Amino acid sequence: MTARCSETSLESALRQLSLHAGSNKYRANWLSTYLAAKRAEAAGHGLTIAGVNQSVEDLFALIPEHPKGRINPFIDLSSKVRWLKVKDSGRSTVWNTGTRDQSQTALFNPSSTNNGRGYFGEGLLPDAAEIAVQHLDQDTTEDPLPGRDALAVLVTRNHEWDAEPSRDELHAAARDFLGMTPDEFNTITADVELAVPVLGSPEWSPSLLMASELGPPETTLTERGSQVAQEPDITVEDVEQLPEQFRSFLNHHGIATESDEEMVDLLAAALSSQLIIMAGPSGSGKSLMASALAAFFAPPDRRARLDSSRLLAKREEFFGYFSHLADKTFQVLEPLQLLLDVAVADGTTSPMVAVEEANLSPIEGYLSPLVHGLGGLEAKTLAIPLHNQVGSVKQQSEQEVPRVLELGPYPRFFATINVDADSPAPARKVVSRACVILMEAPSFDTALAAADTLVHPPVEEGTGPAAALIGRPTLAFDRYSETGSDVFQQALKERAVILRSVLGSDVIAHRPLQRSLIYMSWYAELLGVTEPELGNPVVEAAADNALLHFVLPALSAKEFGSALSVFKSEQRSGLLAPRLARLEQVTRAQQFGPPPDFWGALT
């Protein structure tokens, strides 16, 4: 009578493998790609997309009937990308990382069809095991290799044993499954024992694994790692309909845009970021487009328009203050009254708040709650502290003012700014929390197309037709991450290398990188690209736009000038090319004084 490995031994193997091989999925991908290629060769699946899909299923599809039943075993147990989709998982992960211009091409023989780089279809190099281990060992002082017994149990989980195997027998079965020599198998593993017998009762099964704490999660993880209830998803199909809906909405209100590309960019910005800074010269449509986005994504009672003014230093000067001298009431100023009205309305849709000429005073002063509350990648609620009294207090109209006003879920703020001698650029701490949209004055043809605006209903009368289709900023990135792909990361890496070559150091910091990836995920979904590949025009445009929104605005004047020159000389796509042409024209015209940064080029 034969038996497969036990549920206990498989779970022990999975726990042990999660401690090794890679601190994140990008390093762990080296081993996954190598193993998939070895399995494809050993099983005769073929070094094709179909063959890779089958190899990944053989190795990692532990729960084939579950949509996320493909495990990434070499990564932390709490990772959001530990469990990936089953369908076409090989193509979207190891095939992508072993073709085109991605890192794992170093494992494979070169191909003339891939510009002389390595290519999955050409097969592994003789020393591919050593190459994989070298990359696993980068930037770590800990042993990066998976346990030998643990990996063997994972790949032989369906092997039928006559009796409890010895370690040598277990390793031999794993090597046979993978088509490896003893030296290759020993190179990619550490001589660590499993510490439990391979066989036992009950045998492992997909249903037992799914019911265990190691199975695919039924909850999403917040940025801090704590578990929260699953939020209703905005489906990919819903997202793909948004550009056409927004186009119809703009046409109904007589608003013309320069291009569909600009329209999709604005939608991606609103979906991905909770603070959008709309910068540009007077007449470029900043206020109009901020109003249009707000009216498209929120009903009238869930949106507010606040007007900034000069000489504001603290939030009390913008929102109001509690006064002991005025019968212990809160002196509510107009901006706060508008937000109070929004807060008491139906709280199931995201509120939209426009702040006009936000940089007339330092944003980090009078709007400090935005700076503190929007420092992460997403915030379900934004808290605005109002006073220090216990509980709510009365205001002039007897309406109660809470100690802390909370706006949610997932509010969006559109800050319009002009940059001139009297209105300085926003502080870097503000820019680092925002998606910066550089607006252009419309061409004559666009202005002419909107000449009959007066015969259309004003955009402020919009009823929020897409209110149900905006929520968590990271939702599209979560979907992208679940595929195991790192195409967006690779596209940004190419641009980071270009910047490093002229600046001498990396200037794309951790947070701008994350915000760029979130933006790119929405941009691709809006244009129907759910399985991105390097070289895809949508991916290239999304990456170039991300530079414009999240990287260039934070550069110093010297860095900006160098970046401007190198990207001007490159063939760029998206909105980066025309925007850089305008900025370069301004900087070239300046003959005196220090070189301007991004914001100086707008004046």
Q: Which residue, 80, 6, 71, 87, is CA-closest to 32? A: 71
Among 415, 435, 468, the domain-final residue is 468
AA identity, residue 176: D
- 508, 436: one domain: no
How many domains does the chain fold into?
A: 3
> What kind and span of H or E run contains 415?
strand 412-417
276, 306: one domain: yes
Buried/exposed 513-537: b ≥16 CB within 10 Å, e otherwise: bbbbbbbbbbbbbbbebbebbbebe
Q: Is residue 372 part of a domain?
A: yes
Q: pLDDT at residue 531 above 80?
A: yes
Q: Is the pLDDT of residue 143 over 70?
A: no
Task: Confirm if 430 and 264 have CB atoms less than 8 A apart.
Answer: no
- Span 333-343, mean pLDDT? 94
Model pLDDT for residues 306-334, shown as the tens digit of each residue: 999 999 999 999 999 999 888 889 999 99
Query: The pTM is what?
Result: 0.79
How far apart CA 27 and CA 45 sit, in angstroms, is 25
Query: How many Cβ atoms sit within 10 Å of the Cβ of residue 222?
Result: 15
Task: Evaluate whether residue 228 is within a structural domain.
Answer: no
SS3 state of residue 323: strand
Q: What is the mean pLDDT of residues 237-253?
A: 93
Does the pLDDT value for residue 265 go beyond 90?
A: yes
Give the Cα separation of 36 and 123 in Å (integer). 11
Per-residue pLDDT band at 142 (split at 50, 70, 90): low
410: CB partners within 8 A, 6+ apart: 274, 350, 378, 379, 380, 470, 471, 472, 473
- Angstrom distance (rounded) from CA 494 to CA 491: 5
Claim to verify: residue 159 and residue 210 sit in the same structural domain: yes
232 falls within a domain: no
Strand, coil or helix: what is 117? coil
| Residues in Cβ contact with 162 at an 8 Å cutoff, skipping those fewer than 6 apart | 2
* Average model confidence (pLDDT) across the chain: 88
Q: Looking at the domain assignment, is residue 377 inside a domain?
A: yes
**Residue 488: inside a domain:** yes
Q: 3-state class of 120 per DSSP?
A: helix
Give the residue-averaged pLDDT of 126-136.
90
Q: Is residue 384 pLDDT above 80, yes or no? A: yes
Q: Are residues 460 and 495 in the same domain?
A: no
| Residue keyed to tokens 């660590």 | 192
Do 194 and 320 share a structural domain?
Answer: no
Please say if the pLDDT value at position 211 is more than 70. Answer: yes
Residues 521 and 436 in one domain: no
Between CA 549 and CA 277 the distance in angstroms is 9
Average pLDDT, integer, range 384-409: 90
Q: At residue 260, does pLDDT exceed 80? A: yes
Is the pLDDT reported for residue 100 higher than 80? Answer: no
Looking at the structure, do residues 298 and 320 belong to the same domain, yes or no?
yes
Domain assignment of residue 59, given as a range: 7-217
Judgement on whether residues 439 and 553 belong to the same structural domain of the protein = no
Predicted pLDDT of residue 99: 77
pLDDT at 391 over 80: yes
pLDDT of residue 227: 36
Are both 332 and 452 inside the same structural domain? yes
Asked if 103 contacts 487 with a C-beta cutoff of 8 angstroms, the reply is: no
Say yes or no to pLDDT of 141 above 70.
no
CA distance 84 to 518: 18
**Do 180 and 131 share a structural domain?**
yes
> Given 425, 441, 468, which residue is the final one in a domain?
468
Residue 587 has pLDDT above 50, yes or no: yes
1 within a domain of the structure (yes/no)? no
The one-letter code for the residue type at 79 is S
pLDDT given at position 570: 66
Going by their DSSP bridges, the two strands 227-228 and 220-221 should be labelled as antiparallel
Tens of pLDDT, residues 166-178: 999 999 999 999 9
Same domain, residue pair 403 and 523 = no
Mark which of 217, 250, 283 sits at the end of a domain: 217
Let me know whether 559 and 596 are in one domain: yes
Q: Is residue 229 part of a domain?
A: no
> Is the residue at 575 inside a domain?
yes
How many residues would you count in the chain?
Answer: 603
pLDDT reading at 139 higher than 50: no
Residue for token digits 């979130």?
518
pLDDT given at position 418: 85
Q: With 80 as the cut, is the pLDDT of residue 62 above it?
A: yes
pLDDT of residue 24 exceeding 80, the answer is no
Confidence of residue 223 (pLDDT cuts 50, 70, 90): very low
Block residue for tokens 């992508």: 96
